[in-house]
Amino acid sequence: DGGITQSPKYLFRKEGQNVTLSCEQNLNHDAMYWYRQDPGQGLRLIYYSQIVNDFQKGDIAEGYSVSREKKESFPLTVTSAQKNPTAFYLCASSTGVLYGYTFGSGTRLTVV
Amino acid sequence: GEDVEQSLFLSVREGDSSVINCTYTDSSSTYLYWYKQEPGAGLQLLTYIFSNMDMKQDQRLTVLLNKKDKHLSLRIADTQTGDSAIYFCAERMDSSYKLIFGSGTRLLVRP
C-alpha cells in the first residue's frame, strides 16, 4: 500500500542538539511539505518542495533546514537555533490539486 | 490576503447533526478541503469541494459553499462518538500547491 511514513513517532532532544525527522513517501508525489502544530493551534508551514533538489521557506523556517535529494524523501533538521522546538511535526505530500495532501502520522518532538 | 478562520470548539449529543463553519478571505481559492485529526495522529482528508460547486454530499457528510460570503460548512449527520476529533478546513489558491489551513475546530460528541 502506498503511503507516507514519518519516523520516529516520539523524539527527545537535549538543549543545543540538532535532530533530524524522517519523512518518506511511496506515492510518487512531486510535492512535499513540513508543518508544525502546537497545542490548540493550527498548522504552520515550515518548508515545502515541489520538485527534487528544490525547496522553499514557509512561514516559520527559522531554525529549521531541509533537503530534497530524492523524490521519496524530505527530511527535516531541527537545529539548535530553533529556540522552542517542542511541538508535533507533520509531513505531507501531494500531486496535482484534486486530492489535497496526504499526511504522515506525525513526530512529537520534546526538548529535555 | 490569506486567512482561514474557524470556531475553536463544538459540542453535540450523539445522534444529533454537527455543523462546523469556516470562513476564508481569498476569493481566488479554487479548491476547499475538510480534514479530520484524531488525537496524536496526522490529518485525514474527509472531503473536498470545487469553487464552482455549491454543495457536495458524501454519505453522512454535506459540504456547503457560499462563495459570495466566503463561507464553507461541514455538516455531519447522525454524529457518533467516533466523530470526536479536530476538523480543519483548508483552501488552495489557483495554480498553487500550497494549502492554507484554519486553526481547527474541536468536536466533542457526548453520549
Tell me whether residues B35 and A100 touch, CB distance under 8 A: yes
Q: Tens digit of pLDDT for each residue in A30-69?
A: 999 999 999 877 899 999 999 999 999 999 999 999 999 9
Nearest residue in B to A57, CA atom: B98
Partners of residue B22 in chain A, C-beta under 8 Å? none
Tell me whether residues A50 and B99 touch, CB distance under 8 A: no
CB A44 within 8 A of CB A59: yes
Confidence of residue B94 (pLDDT cuts 50, 70, 90): low
Read off the pLDDT of each residue in B38-45 and give the average, rounded to a whole number.
92
Instruction: Name the residue facing B42 among A31, A100, A104 (closest C-beta).
Output: A104
DSSP assigned state of B78: S
Tell me whether residues B98 and A105 touch, CB distance under 8 A: no
Partners of residue A40 in chain B, C-beta under 8 Å? 8
Looking at the predicted structure, is the pLDDT value of residue B5 above 80?
A: yes
Reduced to 3 states (helix: H, G, I; strand: E, B; else coil), residue B82 is helix
> What is the per-residue DSSP string for A88-100?
EEEEEEE-SSTT-
Confidence of residue A98 (pLDDT cuts 50, 70, 90): low
Interface check A77 vs B, CB under 8 A: no
Looking at the predicted structure, is the pLDDT value of residue A100 above 90?
A: no
List residues bridging with B43 in a β-sheet.
B37
Confidence of residue A97 (pLDDT cuts 50, 70, 90): low
pLDDT score at B76: 98
Partners of residue A104 in chain B, C-beta under 8 Å? 42
List residues bridging with B11 in a β-sheet.
B108
> Other CB atoms closer than 10 Å to residue B2's CB: what's the count?
13
For residues A97 and B30, which has the higher predicted lDDT (pLDDT)?
A: B30
